[in-house]
Amino acid sequence: MRKVIAITGHRRFSNLRKKEVQAWIQSMSEMALRLHSDAIFICGGAPGVDLWAAEVWSEMGVDWVLVKPCGNHGEGVWSPQLLARRDELAKKAMKVKVLMPEYRRGCLNKRNEFMVNHSDLVLGLFDGRQRGGTKHCLSYARQNEKPIVWLDCRQKPILRSVNLSK
């Protein structure tokens, strides 16, 4: 059975640039592929880490899935250019999974929980914020004893791992 690797992370970082984040994503993805050559990657399709990962995986030519929390994800919130970029990347995905027809309260967390529930490993870029989707996703993964590899982005980034023995 193919291993599934999910990714979560913030939209913006105070001390990291897109290029640095994408280098980490590529490095971790290559590591996962060395261990599991047929791995599938999943992301949530939000600006920042999700879409940067989609760009990396598309360039790498690996199988990846976009998990949208709802059919109208980002409409009226994100710029038309950002929505168009997300939709362009979605065409390169192996699959686009839409969890709910329309936005409703809590659907973003449900998307994160879906990704964790369907993954064997969670990659995260986290800067210590005590609120938000990345915090929720990593906490949910920890509660469900999923292996986590995360980049501590609070100051100078430090690679961390949790539960890697599973």
CATH number at residue 153: 3.40.50.450
Total domains in the fold of the chain: 1
Q: Residue 15 pLDDT more than 80?
A: no
Q: How far is CA 28 from the centre of its chain?
A: 12
pTM, entire model: 0.90
Which tens digit of pLDDT belongs to each residue from 50-87?
999 999 999 999 999 999 999 999 999 999 999 999 99
The pLDDT tens digits for 118-156 are 999 999 988 777 888 889 999 999 999 999 998 877 766
Inter-axis angle of helices 80-90 and 49-60, nearest 10: 40
Full residue range of the structural domain in which residue 135 is found:
4-162
Residues 6+ apart with CB under 8 A from 115: 6, 8, 42, 43, 44, 67, 122, 137
